[in-house]
């Protein structure tokens, strides 16, 4: 048995030395150290040995096992280290290579326009106010001098949720709510940007959802000339110092008198072209002096307080400023369009 154990040891160690990968080492381990291996077979014959020989053979068998196992572990560690080194060399990173640029997004063009307008009016002392997009009929219409049945309501086809709730058709309700919080004895100087909704057919110049930004100033001794000065400053800041403005008479139920504001066409410098339809002017927003009925419903004495209001569409401002010819481009999320204005 001693000779057989020594013979098995030499065979196993020779196979270990010739193994070139971890799998072959595993095969050697199973072949010689497994339950069905030759060493186990030798040990099963120990019953035929004398009492004196059994411990000697048992000790030798354990030494053979330990020698083979140690040789396998040593060789396996070396093979694994070599394999890892080869893998690291194959997957090495050249840190001197230039990095891949990461695409950086930017604000939506409408967001940029709204923020630019906000910054302008904040500089004039206006506050920014916000309100609910689901509005009551009272604040959306009645508080703005548009009682039930008023024909001017037809100009604002609405999305009604119930008879008394609807998606707001303008941001004017924010003005009515803000005035109502002042108890009729505090001035108001605010702008209110936000989304509005009207039941309209989508085309190049219309959308069922769009953005509106309105402004309101209520105080004692507010005049039409104050309104013109504010709008003139706005136009020159947004479209250039060389722009002129004009105010044309118009009608809005919540202002009296009411006006439309035009700016001189920057394409033809007021001479007339296809953009301004030959007039030299482009309509930009609506405005007027706050109607006495609106002031009175908000708790103000129209004999003591007066004010002006104006409203504009940031989409229209963006279209005129940057030459966008289709309002739907703002909402279709085409990255080819949007990325043109990341630095606008």
pLDDT at position 155: 67
Give residue-wise pLDDT tens across range 172-198: 999 999 999 998 889 999 999 999 998
Domain residue spans of the chain? 2-86, 109-341
User: Which residues fall within 8 angstroms of residue 312, CB to CB, at 6 or more apart?
Assistant: 117, 212, 213, 214, 284, 285, 286
User: Which residues fall within 8 angstroms of residue 90, CB to CB, at 6 or more apart?
Assistant: none
Average pLDDT over residues 314-330: 90
Give residue-wise pLDDT tens across range 222-244: 999 999 999 999 999 999 899 89
If one compares 336 and 220, the residue with the highest pLDDT of the two is: 220
Find out whether 82 is annotated in a ligand binding site: no
Compute how many other C-beta atoms are within 10 angstroms of the C-beta atom of residue 49.
14
If one compares 29 and 1, the residue with the highest pLDDT of the two is: 29
The answer, as to whether pTM is greater than 0.85, is no
pLDDT at position 127: 96
Pair 267, 281: CB distance under 8 Å: no
**Model confidence at 146: pLDDT above 80:** yes
Average pLDDT over residues 283-305: 95
Pair 2, 61: CB distance under 8 Å: no
pLDDT, mean over the chain:
87
pLDDT at position 7: 78
Give residue-wise pLDDT tens across range 48-60: 666 777 677 777 7
pLDDT band (50, 70, 90) for residue 266: confident
Phi, psi for residue 95 in degrees, rounded to 5: -70, -10
pLDDT band (50, 70, 90) for residue 277: confident
Average pLDDT over residues 195-202: 88
In CATH terms, the superfamily for domain 109-341 is Bira Bifunctional Protein; Domain 2 (3.30.930.10)
Task: Give Cα separations from 157 to 39, 170, 199, 208, 210 (angstroms).
Answer: 95, 11, 5, 10, 14
pLDDT at position 340: 85
pLDDT band (50, 70, 90) for residue 17: confident
pLDDT band (50, 70, 90) for residue 205: confident
């Amino acid at each position: 048995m001693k000779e057989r154990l020594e013979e098995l040891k030499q065979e196993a160690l020779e196979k270990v030395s010739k193994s070139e990968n971890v799998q072959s080492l595993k095969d050697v381990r199973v072949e010689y150290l497994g339950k069905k291996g030759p060493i186990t077979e030798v040990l099963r014959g120990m019953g035929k040995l004398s009492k004196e020989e059994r411990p000697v053979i048992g000790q030798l068998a354990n030494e053979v096992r330990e020698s083979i196992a140690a040789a396998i572990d040593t060789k396996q560690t070396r093979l694994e280290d070599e394999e890892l080194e080869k893998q690291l060399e194959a997957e090495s990173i050249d840190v001197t290579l230039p990095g891949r640029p990461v695409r950086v997004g930017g604000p939506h063009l409408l967001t940029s326009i709204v923020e630019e307008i906000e910054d302008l009016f904040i500089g004039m002392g206006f506050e920014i106010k916000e309100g609910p997009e689901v509005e009551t009929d009272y604040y959306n219409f009645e508080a703005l001098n548009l009682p039930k049945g008023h024909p001017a309501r037809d100009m604002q086809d609405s999305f009604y949720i119930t008879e008394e709730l609807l998606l707001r058709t303008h941001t004017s309700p924010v003005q009515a709510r803000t005035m109502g919080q002042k108890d009729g004895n505090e001035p108001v100087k605010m702008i209110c940007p936000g989304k509005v909704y009207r039941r309209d057919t989508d085309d190049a110049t219309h959308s069922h959802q769009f953005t509106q930004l309105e402004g309101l100033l209520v105080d004692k001794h507010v005049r039409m000339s104050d309104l013109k000065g504010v709008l003139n400053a706005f136009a020159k800041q947004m479209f250039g110092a060389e722009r002129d403005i004009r105010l044309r008479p118009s009608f809005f139920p919540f202002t009296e008198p009411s006006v439309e504001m035009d700016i001189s066409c920057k394409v033809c410098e007021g001479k007339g072209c296809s953009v301004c339809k030959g007039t030299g002017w482009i309509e930009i927003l609506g405005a007027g002096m706050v109607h006495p009925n609106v002031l009175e419903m908000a708790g103000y004495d129209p004999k003591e307080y007066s004010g002006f209001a104006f409203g504009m569409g940031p989409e229209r401002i963006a279209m005129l400023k940057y030459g966008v010819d289709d309002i739907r481009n703002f909402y279709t999320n085409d990255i080819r369009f949007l990325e043109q204005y990341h630095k606008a």
